[in-house]
Structure 1
Amino acid sequence: MATSLKNLSDYTSDQFIDISDKRFGLVVAEWNRTITDTLCQGAYETLLKHGAKEENIYRNTVPGSFELGLGAQLLAQHEEIDAVICLGVIIKGETRHDEFISHAVAQGLMNVGLKFNKPVIFGVLTTENEEQAWDRAGGKHGNKGVEAAVTAIHMLGF
């Protein structure tokens, strides 16, 4: 697994732009809420650390990862939002349900970003089990929320 070779919270900020006037939308799935809240905290703190203002970070929740696409679109349609960071967790179960959800979420978020010509970041964990999710939500592999915020900042620099 690629993540085992990299800590999601390791990055360099050498080429970050000034984000003090940028507005960010966080869309957070409520399913697996303790994990998604941890991802959100990582993203939020990373944005603040690099100059975003608290009043320029908006958080909306959706029931589950499948709904992240519409949640992202509802934020992205606002001209004042510069980037949308979507955070969720999809854990493999006994059926192939996770495959269908993961594909739909990835495609939906890509479509929203292209439609509104702004960064819409896929900060969704797709793991085999809950332990792997925690490993990527502040555990031994870092925090995917941090990685998602860093990706948003990078994309705003284009």
Structure 2
Amino acid sequence: MAKVRIGIVVSEFNNEITFDMLNEAKKHIASEHNNAKILYTCKVPGVFDMPLMVEELLKKKNIDAVVTLGAVIKGETSHDKVITNSTVNLIGELSLKHRKPVSLGITGPDMTFEQAEARITPVTQHAINAAILMTRRLKKIRHEKTKETRTPY
């Protein structure tokens, strides 16, 4: 079976967390998923900037899935909720539009730095696993032979 070809979009904002997420993603694929490879790693200034880069990756024929990695930390306002909600909605729409998985490896909203830091490994691994699993399942259902029932006229 062909390797799942992944593009990663990682936010540079809160890079103390997000760059650790990127390293965890690379490590997890190398150790647990010999059936996948990262073709592109794209950095964007912040989580809000992800959808445009996600769309560019989804347009590529050699990309099967995109993994997003980011950390949205709670500040003094509700800005973290606005950023997270709008980004997640757009990412979901792009996945449907292009019919390719986009997995969510974004921590937040309402999260402290310490909480986001504690979630680096589980959130990143889940995002990688989800992208690979969804790609495999979509390929299977798209190529599955169905038995047609014909009604005689």
Please give the TM-score of this superposition, normalised by the length of structure 2.
0.82
User: Match of 1:129?
Assistant: 112
Q: After TM superposition, give the deviation of residue 53 of structure 1 in Å.
A: 6.0
For the residue of structure 2 that corresponds to 1:91, the secondary structure is coil
User: Match of 1:14?
Assistant: none
User: Match of 1:66?
Assistant: 48
Change in CA separation of 1:34 and 1:52 when aligned onto 2, cut-off 3 Å: farther
Q: After TM superposition, give the deviation of residue 70 of structure 1 in Å.
A: 1.0
Unaligned runs of 5+ in 2: 138-153
Structure of higher RCO (CA pairs closer than 8 Å, 6+ residues apart): 1
Unaligned runs of 5+ in 1: 1-17
The one-letter amino acid of 1:62's match is: V
Q: Which of 128, 136, 143 is the equivalent residue of 1:149?
A: 128
Q: Which of 72, 75, 84 is the equivalent residue of 1:102?
A: 84
The one-letter amino acid of 1:145's match is: T
User: Match of 1:12?
Assistant: none
The one-letter amino acid of 1:21's match is: K
- Structure ranking higher in helix proportion: 2
Cα-to-partner distance string for 1:71-103 (whole Å, 9 max, x where unaligned): 111111101100000000101111010111011
CA contact (8 A) 2:6 2:36 kept: no
CA contact (8 A) 1:28 1:62 kept: yes
The one-letter amino acid of 2:89's match is: Q
Pairwise CA RMSD of aligned residues? Answer: 1.5
Give % identity: 33
Corresponding position: 1:119 with 2:101: yes
Distance (whole Å) between structure 2 residues aligned to residue 85 and residue 96 of structure 1: 25
CA contact (8 A) 1:43 1:147 kept: no
Please give the TM-score of this superposition, normalised by the length of structure 1.
0.80
Number of residue pairs the alignment of both structures matches:
135
Q: After TM superposition, give the deviation of residue 33 of structure 1 in Å.
A: 0.6
Cα-to-partner distance string for 1:44-86 (whole Å, 9 max, x where unaligned): 22222211465x4310000000011111111111011000000
